[in-house]
């Protein structure tokens, strides 16, 4: 008997059967709390009721699933139509006639092993507005017939999940997607790859159980970070941070210890000034030399306003900073980057010209001051590229990385997390720097590999930056341990250019899969293909982009020359000398946002 029928019967016989009333009330209570037939019928009856009441619409009330779908469709249309002018990277539309004419084929839950060079992409995670790795892969699935036309308008219909999220421009030699695909064709991998650019590859597709989620099944992840060894050079002595380091060490009475920690690089810049910079200055006319030195000082010691612009009204300095901002906007607009033509065009941006010590003005209009200034900046960059790291510097870097091992509170290494947030605690299994550097053209590179259970947004890049800042600035290693405490420390975010997801691990899943007769998720069978892909599409892009854009030079140059106390924790004054932000939403100069990671790229390196 339905719940409403039970209540009516109870009302009719209430005066003659008190016990029946009690029994009926008990029945109705059980229906509500236990979800028996009466409760279910009542719920179904509610779904059939019409809208009623003043101002309500007529017609049946949609059930919960339909309401959720309607809301999702409405939000999707709003993003596509209002925010992206009718375009979408994650919703491929077909006509009702095309969908009806398509042959229906069964879907299977699978794990898709992928690799990609992230250059030119806004991370892996698919969205309507930006060019992403998943967006191109999803389109290739549809084009190859692995996803039906009926399901092409929404990746959620195929239960798309990624194992590890990667940030804008970050690469992956191995990553995994899990979803439902049509995989009857024996050559489905080749068909999908035929619709992908060369910088994205499908290594293989494996059948899994229906409940498989690559995100939940992943035990840990391996990442590699490549950086030029010159990143370990100390700041220029006349930069803002360079002067603060020396002054603070002398004031605290630890100057000798500070110099000892710099080891073999303590005189590096003095030698460069003597052998590379002075000869340039000596050949200049006195008035030109004076102006060059003034301009050099102004570009290396600037107060910043809230917009991140220099406060000194020097037109040359302002023009350079404005040129950098304009170049940043140009770079953001290059959605199709990845082709050879787009790569070549990068060399024309003001960022690249400034990085190589060149003005954005042409040779024909360079003044003597501008020509000399360009020559000096180029000499500094060339000196960095000549640097070859010593075993002692590598050893000190390894000592810093060792302090990350174990379970630590990394709230200072991401955004929007407090010290009390349990999710800020992450476990690092290993963090090793290869003691043997590699030399590519004129630049020496170091390889750092980290193995952890999971990582938060920007965590790896901030871990690298912290360790490098400690080594290059001669700071005590203990500052890394201090960073796990409640004090908020502003840690810069190292360039994404050098970061690569090596591969996720599925140790526990593979053990269970073997007992169920399922194939293990293992990238070893494609080892040769992956190695060739890394050399051709990932490492090559890293080396070429660094050579064109000097990303690491610009990053450390900006950090060293911001006239701010955000990074003064690296001095002898410690955290007390640095600015402690009151909360994560505190306004900071726009020029600092990219370095701090507040200007988030929209995706996490690995989901929390």
Please give the annotated binding residues, written as ranges. 223
**CA distances, 248 to each of 241, 298, 477, 487, 556 (Å):** 10, 22, 17, 21, 20
Q: What are phi and psi of 133, to 5 degrees?
A: -60, -50
* Element holding 502 (H helix, E strand): strand 499-505
Residues in the chain: 608
- Which residue among the candidates 130, 136, 153, 167 is catalytic per the annotation? 167
Which tokens hold the place of 149? 């036309």
Place of tokens 């220029």: 236
CB–CB of 549/356 below 8 Å?
A: no
Three-state SS string across 295-315, please?
A: HHHHHHCECECCCCCECCCCH
Query: Is 167 annotated in the active site?
Result: yes
Which of 96, 173, 181, 171 lies closest to 138 in space, CA to CA? 181
CB–CB of 218/164 below 8 Å?
A: yes
Place of tokens 């499908």: 202
Sequence ranges of the binding site for substrate = 223
Which tokens hold the place of 173? 């030699």
Q: How many CA atoms lie within 13 A of 434 on its CB side?
A: 15
Q: Is 269 helix (H, G, I), strand (E, B) or coil?
A: helix
What is 408-450 written as a DSSP string?
Answer: EE-GGGSSS--TT-GGGEEEEEEEEE-SS-EEETTEEEEEEEE
Longest dimension (CA), the chain: 117
Q: What are phi and psi of 13, to 5 degrees?
A: -110, 15
- CA 254 to CA 390: how far, in whole Å? 24
CB–CB of 314/299 below 8 Å?
A: no
Which tokens hold the place of 147? 């996803």
Which tokens hold the place of 392? 């002692």
How large is the C-alpha radius of gyration of the chain? 30
- CA 559 to CA 300: how far, in whole Å? 10
Characterize the bridge pairing of strands 406-409 and 425-433. Answer: antiparallel
**CA distances, 594 to each of 458, 491, 497, 588 (Å):** 11, 11, 14, 11
Characterize the bridge pairing of strands 171-181 and 499-505. Answer: parallel
Which of 596, 545, 455 lies closest to 228 in space, CA to CA? 545
**CA distances, 181 to each of 110, 126, 187, 206, 560 (Å):** 7, 17, 14, 11, 50
- CA 136 to CA 339: how far, in whole Å? 15
Residues 6+ apart with CB under 8 A from 163: 175, 176, 177, 178, 214, 215, 218, 221, 504
- CA 499 to CA 519: how far, in whole Å? 29
Would you please indicate which residues are annotated as catalytic (active-site) residues? 167
């Amino acid at each position: 008997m339905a719940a409403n029928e039970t209540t009516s019967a109870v009302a009719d016989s209430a005066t003659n059967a008190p016990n029946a009333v009690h029994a009926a009330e008990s029945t109705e209570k059980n229906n509500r709390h236990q979800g028996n037939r009466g409760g279910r019928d009542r719920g179904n009856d509610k779904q059939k009721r019409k809208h009623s009441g003043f101002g309500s619409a007529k017609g049946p009330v949609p059930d919960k699933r339909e309401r959720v779908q309607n809301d999702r469709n409405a939000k999707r249309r709003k993003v596509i139509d209002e925010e992206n002018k009718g375009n979408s990277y994650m919703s491929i539309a077909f006509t009702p006639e095309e969908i009806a004419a398509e042959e229906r084929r069964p879907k299977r839950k699978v794990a898709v092993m992928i690799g990609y060079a992230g250059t030119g992409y806004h991370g892996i995670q698919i969205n309507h507005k930006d060019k992403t790795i998943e967006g191109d892969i999803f389109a290739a699935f549809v084009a190859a017939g692995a996803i039906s036309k009926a399901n092409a308008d929404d990746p959620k219909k195929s239960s798309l999940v990624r194992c590890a999220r990667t940030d804008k421009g970050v690469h992956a030699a191995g990553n995994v997607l899990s979803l439902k695909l049509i995989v009857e064709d024996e050559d489905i991998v080749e068909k999908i790859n035929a619709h992908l650019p060369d910088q994205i590859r499908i290594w293989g597709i494996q059948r899994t159980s229906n409940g498989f989620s690559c995100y939940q099944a992943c035990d840990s992840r391996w990442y590699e970070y490549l950086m030029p060894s010159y990143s370990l050079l100390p700041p220029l002595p006349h930069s803002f941070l360079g002067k603060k380091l020396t002054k603070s060490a002398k004031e605290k009475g630890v100057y000798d210890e500070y110099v000892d920690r710099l080891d073999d690089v303590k005189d590096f810049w003095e030698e460069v000034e003597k052998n590379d910079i002075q000869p340039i200055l000596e050949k200049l006319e006195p008035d030109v030399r004076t102006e060059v030195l003034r301009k050099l000082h102004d570009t290396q010691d600037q107060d910043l306003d809230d917009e991140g612009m220099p406060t000194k009204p020097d037109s040359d300095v302002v023009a350079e900073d404005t040129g950098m901002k304009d170049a940043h906007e140009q770079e953001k607009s290059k959605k199709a980057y990845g082709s050879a033509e787009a790569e070549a065009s990068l060399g024309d941006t003001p960022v690249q010209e400034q990085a190589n010590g060149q003005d954005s003005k042409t040779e024909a209009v360079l003044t003597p001051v501008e020509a000399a200034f360009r020559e000096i900046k180029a000499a500094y960059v060339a000196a960095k590229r000549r640097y070859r790291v010593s075993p002692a510097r590598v050893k000190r870097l390894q000592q810093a990385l060792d302090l990350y091992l174990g379970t630590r509170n990394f709230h200072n290494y991401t955004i929007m997390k407090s010290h009390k947030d349990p999710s800020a605690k992450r476990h690092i299994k290993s963090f090793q720097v290869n003691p043997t550097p590699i030399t590519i053209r004129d630049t020496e590179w170091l390889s750092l590999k980290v193995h952890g259970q999971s990582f938060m947004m920007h965590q790896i890049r901030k871990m690298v930056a912290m360790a490098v800042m400690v080594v290059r600035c001669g700071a005590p290693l203990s500052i890394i341990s201090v960073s796990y405490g409640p004090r908020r420390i502003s840690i810069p975010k190292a360039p994404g250019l050098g970061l690569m997801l090596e591969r996720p691990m599925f140790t526990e899943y593979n053990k269970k899969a073997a007992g169920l007769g399922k194939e293990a998720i293992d990238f070893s069978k494609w080892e040769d293909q992956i190695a060739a892909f890394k050399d051709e599409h990932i490492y090559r892009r890293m080396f070429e982009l660094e050579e064109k854009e000097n990303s690491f030079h610009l990053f450390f140059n900006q950090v060293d020359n911001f006239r701010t106390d955000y990074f003064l924790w690296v001095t002898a004054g410690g955290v007390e000398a640095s600015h402690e932000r009151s909360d994560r939403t505190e306004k900071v100069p726009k020029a600092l946002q990219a370095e701090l990671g507040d200007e988030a790229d929209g995706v996490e390196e690995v989901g929390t």
